[in-house]
């Protein structure tokens, strides 16, 4: 149900763009105004969300320690999984953000008769997630060539690398294919694994369908309808130089693509996609385990009502004395 | 309370989620899965709101009129105080990596025991009240209203989490369900909705210094029983001191070890070790609890209970503090104590009087873990050990959740065990160290009335033990946690009968060759040593 509703929402977005451009001729709206608005929402939204998180303090030093602590000099510390220094934390975060290290350690269990609980490593989610994020990043970077003139050499070489298979013309780019496969995998596991289906919200399917449609519309433009790339680049260059005009003859598929991208941008600050910023602020990962070595400060630490030793001794003085325990007041 | 089903019945777990969505499936309070509600006298002692006689099974929980307002204000306050809570409310992508990592899910199959869904119980209310999307789109955005039924669901499931943090190891963003459970329990406590197994010990600890409510003379008396036993076994008379000013070291350990076996054997181990070293140390009857049931209640109560340790160290004028074997005690000491009740600037950086080792890793809190202390002694050859005395034991080691994932003390206890025992075997790599499984009774869930829950939660741990029992003939599970020592015997009896449970320092004391001791014929449990049968 959640999946169907999300699919309907994405189809509605496509129809809005299709009708808006094809029927209502609102090229400027969909080609200029909407992208600007979306970008503004994205930037303001992301920044304010991160600031909002940042405004809440981190009162305690609560890293999840996943390896040997630093203790006696002859015991080997696990510096990445249980870092006690800033450089260790940076290492841990880099591995987490770039290589999804925690997900790499994922396991699956099986309860057999006996009973016997058996565990094994499972890396499909790690692989699918990594393929998805990295291919998405490559696709994103490749798109920078639409916003730069002349195109920097590194972008051109990235594209050469991405198309190393040299299949067809225009050459097949691997990143797009991987992205499509990875999104499909992420969707399929969500509907096929009963536990994951049970926890999935509409907000989990919607971005998948959205990204799938963005990838598909891009692929259609590149390989099938062969969009007027000169026109597209004139528009995109105009957008970044704040001097946009709508060139003639760009196909409606492009406007759909652009509208879906705009929708994604505007959606990000309000969605789980904010995990890209949130992981950097996650106290269980970005803190060193050094709280016995160095004092951390809780900014809102306040005095509390305690039961003092004096009160305790008043309660038990006679019993203490008869048990031979020294007391403050005889 | 209902009788706990037999193991073969309990181990038939159905993992198929219900037909109805989780928001449309209210919590069903199953007998044996929950603890009794807090008694009014304990809440009064702790100065907590809404003390009254109530039962979780009642329709009416006798809440104040404006309970929703209290909870939502409390939620808002905590979002502003804890970045962890705020970020964890926002960034979960529901990838499901955590889903099968929880011992309660593995043992019960209840989808609301998947960490992700446990968190969603609270997240849904957060979205419904504090996010734009949730307010507008409602259920579609995973949002819902805070109803009486939701409140009961919170109570049921946030007291089915042991705050063990295993899920947070696997989460790609480090989302820690323990943080969320802690917040949820704080909120529930705003309405007087604790369990009595938590508020009772917490009230005891507040007034009498320890969870068991042992009064000062009882502590001395209990230790005297142990000293008599030690004298019978070793011929050595030990005289420890209590509340002694001017001692070099204050020793703090969980009170459970002063009360019931097998914990008492661990306490005997401490007494023997310290005597052998001639350590200048003292016990305290005021700070007679290392553990902290306040930690399972609210941040403020945890701080109130914890304050006694530094206060007592200051009053007695000791130089540093040594802490015994306990799980959540060490999470608190490592990750909270300094921020609550520090700075401990009246203490000195801990230095072992025996080896001269300076414990740099504790230079701010001035509190050393006994496993660090003893491992250092052994490394420097300061103990005369005869591991053969433990030859009847085939030992495996259970990493306690809190010392594993809230500290990372893995090698120290293993080093000690390997030096005092000749037969040591590790369990399945997926069930030890940072991936260790909780005993299923942590965070104040080790009551009697929720035995089915405890046996279900204990299944993964016990099952990994069973594996090494079958493979290597393991017959003893060592650990460094008082709750383990209190909870695991029942769990092992149920799932792996015949397997014992011991603290590491019981093993140390059995192997420890003391100056002037008579030939030992039994171990601390009074069981004949190998080759000594019939010589008692």
ipTM associated with this complex: 0.95
Quick: pLDDT tens for A238-287.
999 999 999 988 999 999 999 999 999 999 999 999 999 999 999 999 99
> Is the pLDDT reported for residue A167 higher than 90?
no
Please provide residue B369's backbone torsions phi and psi, each rounded to the nearest 5 degrees. -80, 135
B433 torsion bin: left (phi>0), alpha (psi -120 to 50), beta (else): left
**For residue A20, how many C-alpha atoms fall within 13 Å in the half-sphere facing its CB?**
20
DSSP B277: H
Q: Say yes or no: B315 contacts chain A, CB-CB below 8 A.
A: yes
Tokens 């099952």 locate to B463
DSSP state of B76: H
Is residue B207 within 8 Å of A311, Cβ to Cβ? no
**Cross-chain Cβ contact A316/B216 below 8 Å:** yes
What pLDDT is stored for residue B2 in this prediction? 59
Q: How far apart are CA B207 and CA A155, in angstroms?
A: 70
Instruction: Dump pLDDT digits (tens) for A124-150.
Output: 999 999 999 999 999 999 999 999 989
**Residues B89, B94: Cα–Cα separation, whole Å:** 12
Where do the H-state alpha helices sit in B365-431?
370-379, 401-405, 411-420
Number of H helices, E strands in chain B: 22, 7
**Is the CB of A54 less than 8 angstroms away from the CB of B83?**
yes
B513 touches chain A (CB under 8 A): no
Among A50, A284, A290, the residue to mutate for chain B (most B Cβ within 10 A):
A284
- Residue A52 to chain B, least CA–CA distance (Å): 9
CA A271 to chain centre: 10
Tell the residue number behind the tokens 């594993």, with chain if given.
Answer: B404
Instruction: Tell me the two tokens of residue A212.
Output: 């799938």
| Contact (Cβ atoms closer than 8 angstroms) between residue B406 and residue A284 | no
Res B242: pLDDT? 98
- Selected for mutation to probe chain A from B338, B378, B440, B491 (highest A CB count within 10 Å) is B338
- At a CB cut-off of 8 Å and minimum separation 6, what does B136 contact? none
The whole-angstrom separation of Cα A252 and Cα B344 is 69
Residue A304 has its nearest CB partner, among B300, B359, B411, at B300
Tens of pLDDT, residue by residue over A187-228, are 999 999 999 999 999 999 999 999 999 999 999 999 999 899
Reduce the DSSP state of residue A107 to 3 states and report it: strand
Is the CB of B245 less than 8 angstroms away from the CB of A326? yes
Tokens of A156: 């051109």
Q: Which are the contacts of B531, defined by CB distance < 8 A and separation ≥ 6?
A: none
Q: Between chains, do B342 and A295 touch, taking CB under 8 Å as contact?
A: yes
CA-closest candidate to residue B288, choices B267, B319, B265, B268: B267
* Torsion B155-B160-B164-B170 (CA) sign: negative
Which pLDDT band, with edges at 50, 70 and 90, does A114 fall under? confident
Specify the residue for token string 């019978």. Answer: B232
Q: Which of B361, B404, B437 to mutate to test the interface with A (most CBs of A within 10 A)?
A: B361
Q: What is the DSSP string of B204-247?
A: HHHHHSSTT---HHHHHHHHHHHHHHHHHHHS------BS-TT-
Of B216, B340, B361, the CB nearest to A70: B361
Contact A270 B460 (CB under 8 A): no
Residue at token pair 């499901």? B96
Closest-approach residue (CA) in chain B for A67: B408
C-alpha–C-alpha distance, residues B365 and B496, integer Å: 39
Sheet arrangement for strand B249-252: B281-283, B249-252, B320-323, B367-369
Cβ–Cβ gap B132/A64 under 8 Å: no
Using a CB-CB cut-off of 8 Å, the residues of chain A touching B464 are 117
**What is the pLDDT at residue A9?**
96
Distance CA B101, CA A102 (A): 13
- Compute the average pLDDT of residues A91-112: 95
**Buried b or exposed e, range A179-203, using 16+ CB within 10 angstroms:** bbebbebbbebbeeeebbbbbbbbb
Closest partner residue to A57 (CB to CB) among B8, B83, B407 is B83
Domain ranges for chain B: 7-31+49-193, 201-511
Residues 415-444 of B with CB under 8 A from A: 415, 428, 430-431, 433-435
Which of A48, A50, A101, A117 best probes binding to B when mutated, by most B CB atoms within 10 angstroms? A117
In the numeric block, the tokens 């009254």 are attached to B52
Assess whether pLDDT exceeds 90 at residue A307. yes
C-beta atoms of B360 and A293 within 8 A: yes
Residue B64 contacts residue B191 (beta carbons within 8 Å): yes
Domain range summary for chain A, segments of one domain joined by +: 2-322
Q: Which residues of B touch A125 (CB under 8 A)?
A: 95-97
Nearest to A279 among B91, B142, B215 (CB): B91
Residues of chain B contacting A313 with CB distance shorter than 8 Å: 286
Tell me if B491 sits within 8 A of B451, measured CB to CB.
Answer: no
Chain A residue with minimum CA distance to B364: A293
What is the H or E stretch that residue B420 is in? helix B411-420
How buried is B175 (Cβ within 10 angstroms: 0-12 exposed, 13-18 middle, 19+ buried)?
buried
**A115 → chain B, closest CA residue:** B11
Residues of A in contact with B86 (CB under 8 A): 52-53, 56
Give dist(CA B420, CA B389) in Å, integer.
Answer: 9
Q: How far is A11 from chain B (nearest CA, A)?
A: 17
Determine if the peptide bond prior to B454 is cis (ω within 30°): no
How far does B266 lie from chain A, in Å, by closest CA?
Answer: 23
At B533 the pLDDT is 62
- Whole-number pLDDT of residue B536: 44
CATH architecture of A2-322: Up-down Bundle (1.20)
Query: Phi first, then psi: what are they for B455, rounded to 5°?
Result: -70, -40
How close, in Å, is residue A7 to chain B by CA atoms?
A: 13
Helix (H) or strand (E) holding B7: helix B7-10
Judged by a CB distance cut-off of 8 A, whether residue B81 touches chain A is yes
Residues of chain B contacting residue A111, judged by C-beta atoms under 8 Å apart:
11, 13, 15, 106
Q: For testing the chain A interface, which of B15, B79, B173 should be mutated: the one with the most A CBs within 10 Å?
A: B173
Per DSSP, B16 falls in state P
User: Please, what are the averages of pLDDT over each run of 10 residues along chain B (536 residues)?
Assistant: 84 95 95 97 98 97 98 98 98 96 97 98 98 91 96 98 98 97 98 98 98 97 97 97 98 95 97 98 98 98 98 98 97 98 97 98 98 98 97 97 98 98 98 97 96 97 97 98 96 97 98 97 92 59
């Amino acid at each position: 149900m959640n999946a169907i509703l999300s699919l309907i929402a994405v189809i509605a977005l496509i129809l809005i763009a299709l009708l808006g451009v094809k029927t209502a001729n609102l090229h400027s709206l969909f080609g200029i105004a909407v992208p600007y608005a979306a970008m503004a929402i994205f930037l303001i939204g992301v920044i304010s969300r991160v600031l909002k998180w940042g405004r809440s303090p981190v009162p305690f030093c609560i890293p999840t320690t996943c390896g040997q602590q630093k203790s006696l000099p002859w015991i080997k510390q696990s510096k990445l999984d249980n870092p006690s220094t800033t450089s260790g934390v940076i290492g841990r975060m880099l591995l987490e953000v770039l290589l999804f290290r925690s997900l790499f350690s994922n396991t699956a269990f099986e309860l057999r008769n006996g009973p016997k609980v058996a565990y094994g490593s499972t890396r499909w989610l790690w692989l699918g997630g990594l393929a998805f994020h990295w291919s998405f990043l490559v696709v994103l970077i490749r798109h920078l060539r639409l916003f730069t003139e002349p195109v920097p050499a590194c972008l051109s070489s990235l594209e050469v690398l991405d198309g190393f298979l040299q299949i067809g013309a225009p050459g097949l780019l691997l990143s797009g294919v991987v992205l499509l496969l990875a999104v499909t995998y992420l969707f399929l596991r969500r509907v096929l694994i009963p536990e994951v289906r049970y926890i999935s919200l509409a907000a989990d399917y919607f971005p998948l369908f959205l990204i799938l449609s963005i990838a598909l519309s891009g692929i259609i433009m590149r390989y099938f309808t062969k969009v007027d790339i000169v026109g597209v680049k004139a528009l995109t260059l105009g957008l970044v130089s704040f001097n946009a005009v709508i060139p003639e003859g760009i196909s409606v598929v492009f406007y759909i693509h652009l509208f879906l991208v705009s929708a994604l941008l505007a959606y990000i600050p309000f969605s789980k996609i904010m995990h890209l910023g949130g992981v950097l602020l996650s106290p269980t990962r970005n803190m060193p385990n050094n709280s016995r070595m160095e004092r951390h400060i809780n900014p809102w630490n306040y005095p509390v009502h305690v039961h003092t030793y004096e009160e305790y001794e008043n309660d038990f003085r006679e019993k203490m004395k008869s048990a031979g325990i020294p007391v403050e007041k005889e | 309370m209902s009788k706990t089903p037999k193991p073969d019945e309990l181990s038939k777990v159905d993992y198929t989620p219900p037909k109805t969505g989780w928001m449309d499936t209210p919590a069903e309070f199953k007998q044996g899965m929950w603890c009794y509600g807090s008694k009014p006298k304990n809440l009064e002692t702790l100065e907590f709101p809404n003390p009254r006689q109530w039962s979780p099974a009642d329709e009416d929980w006798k809440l104040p009129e404006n309970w929703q307002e209290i909870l939502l204000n409390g939620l808002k306050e905590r979002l502003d105080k804890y970045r962890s809570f705020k970020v964890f409310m926002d960034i979960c992508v529901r990838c499901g990596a955590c889903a099968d990592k929880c011992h309660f899910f593995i043992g019960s199959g209840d989808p609301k025991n998947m960490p992700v869904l446990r968190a969603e119980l609270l997240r849904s209310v957060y979205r419904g009240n504090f996010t734009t999307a949730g307010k507008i789109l409602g259920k579609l955005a995973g949002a819902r209203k805070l109803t009486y039924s939701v409140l009961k669901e919170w109570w049921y499931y946030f007291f089915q989490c042991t705050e063990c943090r295993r899920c947070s190891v696997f989460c790609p963003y480090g989302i820690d369900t323990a943080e969320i459970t802690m917040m949820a329990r704080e909120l529930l406590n705003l309405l007087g909705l604790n369990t009595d197994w938590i508020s009772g010990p917490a009230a005891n600890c507040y007034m009498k210094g320890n969870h068991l409510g042992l009064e000062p003379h009882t502590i001395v008396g209990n230790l005297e029983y142990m000293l008599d036993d030690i004298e019978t076994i070793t011929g050595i008379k030990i005289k420890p001191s209590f509340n002694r000013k001017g001692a070099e070291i204050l020793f703090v350990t969980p009170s459970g070890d002063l009360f019931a076996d097998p914990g008492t054997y661990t306490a005997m181990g401490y007494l023997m070790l310290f005597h052998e070293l001639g350590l200048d140390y003292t016990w305290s009857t005021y700070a007679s609890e290392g553990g902290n049931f306040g930690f399972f209640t609210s941040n403020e109560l945890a701080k109130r209970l914890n304050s006694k340790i530094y206060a007592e160290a200051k009053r007695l004028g000791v130089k540093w503090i040594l802490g015994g074997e306990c799980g959540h005690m060490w999470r608190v000491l490592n990750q909270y104590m300094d921020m609550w009740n520090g700075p401990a600037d009246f203490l000195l950086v801990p230095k072992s009087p025996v080896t001269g080792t300076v414990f740099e890793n504790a230079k701010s809190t001035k509190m050393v873990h006994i496993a660090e202390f003893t491992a250092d002694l052994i490394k420097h050859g300061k103990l005369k050990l005869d591991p053969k005395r433990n030859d009847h034991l085939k030992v495996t080691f259970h990493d306690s959740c809190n010392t594993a994932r809230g500290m990372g003390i893995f090698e120290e206890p293993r080093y000690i065990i390997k030096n005092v025992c000749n037969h040591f075997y590790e369990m399945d790599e997926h069930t030890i160290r940072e991936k260790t499984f909780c005993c299923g009774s942590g965070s104040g869930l080790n009551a009697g009335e929720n035995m089915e829950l405890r046996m279900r939660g204990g299944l993964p741990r016990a099952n990994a033990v069973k594996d090494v029992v079958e493979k290597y003939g393991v017959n003893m599970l060592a650990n460094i946690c008082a709750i383990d020592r209190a909870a695991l015997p029942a769990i092992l009896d149920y799932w792996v009968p015949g397997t014992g449970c011991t603290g590491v320092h019981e093993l140390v004391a059995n192997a420890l060759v003391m100056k002037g001791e008579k030939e030992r014929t039994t171990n601390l449990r009074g069981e004949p040593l190998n080759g000594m049968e019939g010589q008692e």
